[in-house]
């Protein structure tokens, strides 16, 4: 299995590259890279013009640039016999428990293992494990110009795992959301320090 951190988004609503935001005292790409690297050799999926932003981390260029599905497809097309543990960089509540839960509950007989959102019931394609059998589905979708990974999961018949913590699936897209999450993390950190 390989790890893939999706950092290629254009961050238009945020107004700043979301991979560079710091929720855990380091850039988010670095936090997630270290987290997923504990499970599998990990790459950052980025656009060509982003290559200089990530020090010496292993990069896998998104050659398709059709949103997050392009990053996933580029990875699977490059190593089609390898499962990929995928995490998007705009999900600051993804942690060790998230990764451990996914790996422990992996449904390798299906094209993908992802969470079903507890409140909305939607499948979350950007925190999950995409299997080699997803390749043909991705190729067919790309050929038809269909670039929604959520719709593709439904087409593949994925039911999704029950998610133990809804916050794992929260993605942050605006400066206001970013500030609120940073405040929540600071409050939690202070509470933990005071509890020692």
Domains and CATH numbers, the chain: 2-194 (3.90.550.10)
Closest CA to 60 of 10, 98, 18, 6: 6
Pick the closest to residue 66 from 3, 128, 148, 136 (CA basis): 148
* Residue that has been written with the tokens 């719709």 in this structure: 151
Closest CA to 86 of 50, 48, 42: 42
For position 192, what pLDDT does the model report? 57
Residue 65 has a pLDDT of 82
In the sheet that holds 112-116, the strands lie side by side as: 59-61, 42-46, 2-6, 84-88, 123-130, 112-116, 161-162
User: What pLDDT, on the 0 to 100 scale, is given for residue 125?
Assistant: 97
Instruction: Report how far residue 128's alpha carbon sits from residue 85's, in angstroms, rounded to the nearest whole number.
Output: 6
The values of phi and psi at residue 46, to 5°, are -140, 170
Q: Decide: 150 and 112 in contact? Cβ < 8 Å.
A: no
pLDDT given for residue 74 in this prediction: 95
Q: Identify the pLDDT of residue 119.
A: 92
Tokens standing for residue 188: 């939690």
pLDDT confidence of residue 145:
95
- Residues in the chain with pLDDT < 50? none
Per-residue pLDDT, 181: 86
Dist CA 16 CA 123 (whole Å):
27
Three-state DSSP at 154 gives helix
pLDDT tens for each residue of 151-169: 999 999 999 999 999 999 9
């Amino acid at each position: 299995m390989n790890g893939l951190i999706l950092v290629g988004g254009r961050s238009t609503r945020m107004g700043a590259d979301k991979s560079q935001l710091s929720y855990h005292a380091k850039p988010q790409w670095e936090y997630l890279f270290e987290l997923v690297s504990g499970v599998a050799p990990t790459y950052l999926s980025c656009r060509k013009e982003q290559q200089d932003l990530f020090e010496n981390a292993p990069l896998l260029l998104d050659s398709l640039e059709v949103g997050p599905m392009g990053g996933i497809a580029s990875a699977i097309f490059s190593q089609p016999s390898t499962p990929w543990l995928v995490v998007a960089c705009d999900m600051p509540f993804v942690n060790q428990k998230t990764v451990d839960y996914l790996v422990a509950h992996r449904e390798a007989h299906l094209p993908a293992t992802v969470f079903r959102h507890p409140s909305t019931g939607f499948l979350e394609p950007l925190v999950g494990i995409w299997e080699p059998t997803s390749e043909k589905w991705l190729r067919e979708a790309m050929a038809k110009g269909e670039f929604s990974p959520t719709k593709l999961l439904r087409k593949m018949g994925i039911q999704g795992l029950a998610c133990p913590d809804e916050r794992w699936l929260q993605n942050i897209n605006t400066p206001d959301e970013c500030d609120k999450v940073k405040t929540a993390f600071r409050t939690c950190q202070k509470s933990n320090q005071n509890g020692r």
